[in-house]
Amino acid sequence: MFVLGIDPGLSTTGYGLVETSRGGMRAVTVGVIRTDPADPIALRLAELETDLVGILGEYQIDEAAIETVFVNQNRQSAMSVLRASGVVLMALGRSRIPVTEYTPSQVKASLSGYGGADKQQMQRMVQSRLNLPALPRPADAADALAIAMCHSQTLGMTRAVERAQ
């Protein structure tokens, strides 16, 4: 099964595709989509959609997972992430790829057993579990891999419970 994880953002959107099989998990591709902060927001959102649709068309993707928007004190930043999330969800919907949303603490708890793990701990966990030669960078790409891994694990547990019933 191929699961695409996405960490949405207007400036940088991370993506990571993980394949899960009986042999475990492996990273298929990982990267970021960047937009120029000097460009108008409408153009940046259009570029995000175009690049993401290209990725969706390039790989066989069974499911997707996206990190939910965490609204903190910075409303402007939250608004940018919300806009990017909408574009991501729209592209996945148009491609008929089922998508699940996870909070940052759900992703952290799924991989590390602790919902308060820091970015460095998460990068090391992703590197270790996927047998990567180096820490995945930038952080947005590492987060996207973690989101994909979280969803793969959740699907695996759900299916195991269904088989047992």
Structural domains in the chain plus CATH codes? 2-164 (3.30.420.10)
What pLDDT is recorded for position 98?
98
The catalytic residues are 7, 67, 140
Q: What is the per-residue pLDDT for 159?
A: 66
Q: Is the dihedral of CA 109, 112, 116, 117 positive or negative?
A: negative
Q: Does pTM surpass 0.85?
A: yes
Nearest to 110 by CA among 142, 66, 165, 151: 151
pLDDT at site 120 = 87
- Bridge partner residues of 63 (DSSP): 3
Three-state secondary structure string covering 15-41: EEEEEEECCEEEEEEEEEEECCCCCCH
Q: Give mean pLDDT in consecutive 10-residue pieces for the chain, a chain of 165 residues.
A: 97 97 93 98 98 97 92 77 96 98 92 81 91 92 97 79 66
Q: How far apart (Å, rounded) are the C-alpha atoms in residues 93 and 83?
A: 15
Q: Can you tell me the distance from the alpha carbon of 164 to that of 101, in angstroms, rounded to the nearest whole number?
A: 26
- What is the per-residue pLDDT for 116? 78
So what's the pLDDT on residue 114? 73
